[in-house]
Amino acid sequence: MHTSIQSKWIIQSTLWIFNGFFLGKVLGKENVPSKGAFILAANHVSIPDSWLLINILLKKHEREVWFISRDDIWWGTWFTSKVVSPLLGSLLLVDWRNPKQVLDQAKEILKRGWVVGIHPEGTRNTDPKALCLGKTGAARLALETGLPVVPAGYFGPSISTLWDVFYEFALKRNRAKIVFGKTMDFSEYKNKEITRDLLYEVTDKIMIEIGNLSNKKPRLHQT
């Protein structure tokens, strides 16, 4: 599974547009590994945030990045799967009838030394003060592969339509800010059985770091 030549051309040729018009500050870039597979976990504010994260990693390290995404994120399931995904070529679409399938695909990508991005909140969250309760996909990938997690905090306007893109970025000249945190290593759990409680524990640790980076309070499974 490779990003197509057409997709790479589109990504590379739009870097200056996305990074110039949509992206402001990027902090903590030194925390992003220059090689080797890892899991990128970030909060989810708007539709373009995963695209901006992909662009940053492509520009800095020319990393192959795949982002797990809902199969209806771009104007419904048909448009996302038939138009956007083939065009961009860097989305792993989640079929809610079979979520395990996308995690299996993600593990194959990680085995090749590439990067998998995931929004543990599972949906766009416009709450300026708190994160959604984290889903366990990022934790499961980290525990099953033994790979590190790089947490990231995203600041920016809530974008869900093309009008939002024009209004927030063009008219109001808002810019996104992204902060990368230090790599999280979960090798201490290597020989432990992956139970629900362990998934919740690791998920909470990831969400606490994302909360620190995004200035949002995490909602935790274990209190």
pTM score, whole prediction? 0.83
- Quick one: which of 61, 44, 11 has its CA closest to 134? 44
Q: What whole-number distance in Å separates Cα of residue 64 and Cα of residue 116? A: 9
> Is 123 or 129 the better-scoring residue by pLDDT?
129
Contacts of range 69-74, beta carbons closer than 8 Å, 24 or more positions apart: 69/93, 69/94, 70/94, 70/123, 71/95, 71/96, 73/47, 74/47
CB-side neighbour CA atoms (13 Å) of 89: 14
Q: How far apart are CA 222 and CA 156, in angstroms?
A: 29
Alpha helices in 127-181 (DSSP H): 137-145, 162-164
Query: CA 84, CA 88: separation in Å to the nearest integer?
Result: 6
Which of 34-48, 73-87, 155-169 is the most confident on average? 34-48
Q: Tell me what pLDDT residue 5 has.
A: 43
Q: What is the mean pLDDT of residues 18-26?
A: 75
Residue 4 has pLDDT above 50, yes or no: no
Confidence of residue 53 (pLDDT cuts 50, 70, 90): confident
Report how many domains make up the chain: 1
pLDDT of 86 above 90: no
* Residue 3, pLDDT score: 47
Which residue type occupies 17?
Answer: I
Banded model confidence at residue 127, pLDDT cuts 50, 70, 90: very high
pLDDT, average across residues 80-104: 59
Are 28 and 180 a contacting pair, CB within 8 Å? yes
Closest CA to 40 of 58, 19, 14, 24: 58
Backbone angles phi, psi at 176, to 5 degrees: -80, 150
- Establish if 223 belongs to a structural domain: no
Domain assignment present for 81: yes
Of 5-19, 91-105, 157-171, 198-212, the poorest mean pLDDT is in 5-19
Residue 200 within a domain: yes
**Structural domain harbouring 169:** 5-29+37-214
Across 181-187, average pLDDT: 97
3-class DSSP assignment, residue 135: coil
219 domain-assigned: no
At residue 84, the pLDDT reads: 54
Task: Classify residue 173 as left (phi > 0), alpha (psi -120 to 50) or beta.
Answer: left
Choose among 48, 71, 37: nearest CA to 147: 37
* Per-residue confidence band for 73, with pLDDT thresholds at 50, 70 and 90: low
In a domain, residue 128? The reply is yes
Q: Is residue 195 part of a domain?
A: yes
- Among 88-102, 142-156, 160-174, 196-210, the least confident range: 88-102
More confident residue, 57 or 118: 118
- More confident position, 139 or 35: 139
Q: CA 93, CA 103: separation in Å to the nearest integer?
A: 10
Q: Which of 18-22, 47-51, 213-217 has the highest mean pLDDT?
A: 213-217
Burial of 122 from C-beta contacts in 10 A (0-12 / 13-18 / 19+): middle
Identify the pLDDT of residue 17: 64
Would 222 be classed as within a structural domain?
A: no
Considering the chain, what is the average pLDDT of its residues?
81
pLDDT digits 0-9 by tens, 128-174:
999 999 999 999 999 999 999 999 999 988 876 666 776 777 677 77
Domain presence at residue 14: yes
